[in-house]
Amino acid sequence: MLVEVAYGKTRLPVEIPDENLQKVFRVRHWPGLANPAQAIEASLVNPIDSAPLADIAGGKKNATIVISDITRPVPNRLLLPPILQTLEGAGMAKDQILILIATGMHRPNEGDELIELVGEEIAANYRVENHFGTDVDSHVDLGTDES
């Protein structure tokens, strides 16, 4: 059987002998939001079981936003602008905001990949850094929480 596997931004055809194939799971397609930007903004103002982001950020010295790296199809370019606007509206300056790319054990995302992740405007105006999971000297043990 010919099976197409998502690979990067394309699909990769893979021939699997029928005797080796147990089952093919197909993703159920759900309708998208009519206005994703509006839904994001509404969730920042009226989140589930939390204070609004603006209230949490008010009076704070800095903020770090952790985003997935290029290996995950997360719409960072859609999510980041309203989050950044909310933080700035709560009194934070751009230089008080760090966007940290959670690379895990992957290579850093730089150049065109960085622009693809966050967009040119954010890359040019905010501090965007890759996390290096193997650089243990840069890690700080903050202890444990109650959970």
d(CA 85, CA 73): 23
The pLDDT assigned to 27 comes to 82
CA–CA distance, 131 with 107 (Å, rounded to integer): 9
Report yes or no on 59 lying in a domain: yes
The pLDDT of residue 100: 98
**How does pLDDT run along the chain (147 residues), one tens digit per residue?**
998 888 878 899 999 999 998 988 888 888 989 999 999 999 999 999 999 999 999 999 999 999 999 988 899 999 999 999 999 999 999 999 999 999 999 999 999 999 999 999 999 999 999 999 899 898 899 999 887
Residues of the domain holding 116: 37-138
Q: Give the tens place of pLDDT for each residue, 96-110.
A: 999 999 999 999 999
Supply the pLDDT for residue 69: 94
Structural domain count, the chain: 1
The CATH number that applies at residue 106 is 3.40.50.11440
Asked if residue 25 is part of any domain, the answer here is no
**Residue 18 placed within a domain:** no
pTM, rounded to two decimals: 0.81
The answer to whether residue 15 is domain-embedded is no
Task: Note whether 116 and 145 are within 8 A (CB).
Answer: no
